[in-house]
Structure 1
C-alpha cells in the first residue's frame, strides 16, 4: 500500500510542478516520486563513496607521493 506524506514548499515551486505535470501529461505524484527516486539514488551513491573513502582513510590507505605525481603527470596538464 502506498504511503502518504505531506510537505511544505513555495507557491512558485508548486506552480512549476503543475506546469511540468500539464506539459508531460503526468500527475504531481508521479513527478514528485520520480524526482525523489533520482535524488535518493544519487545521494545514496555519494554517501556510500564517502563512507568507503573514510574507511580507507581510517585504515591509512592513502596514495603515495609517487602515485600522486603519476596522476599529476597524466592529467595535470589536461586539467588546466
Structure 2
C-alpha cells in the first residue's frame, strides 16, 4: 500500500532527481522512496547506537586503561 504525501523542496533537487531517474531508467518516485528509506535506516541506526552508548555509560561500562592502550598500540597513536 502506498500513501501520497506532498513536500516542498528546491527546484534544483527535483531537477537532480529527474536527471538521475532518466539515467537509471527509474521513476522519480522510486528514487525519492529509496532515498527516504536509506535516510530513515541510517538515522534509526544512529539513534539506536547513541541510546546503547548512553545505557552503557549510565551503567559505568567504560573502556579500561588496558583496552585504551591496546587501541593506541593498534592504531599507532602517539600522545604529545
Structure that is richer in helix per residue: 1
The root-mean-square deviation of aligned C-alpha atoms, in Å, is: 1.1
Structure 2 residue 30 is matched with structure 1 residue 26: no
- Structure-1 separation of matches of 2:30 and 2:73: 48
Unmatched 5+ residue regions in structure 1?
none
How many residue pairs were aligned?
A: 77
Q: What's the CA shift string for 1:2-37, capped at 9, x where partnerless?
A: 111111111111111111111111111100001111
Name the structure 1 match of 2:70: 70
Instruction: Using structure 1 for the length normalisation, give the TM-score.
Output: 0.87
- Structure-1 separation of matches of 2:73 and 2:36: 40
Unmatched 5+ residue regions in structure 2?
none
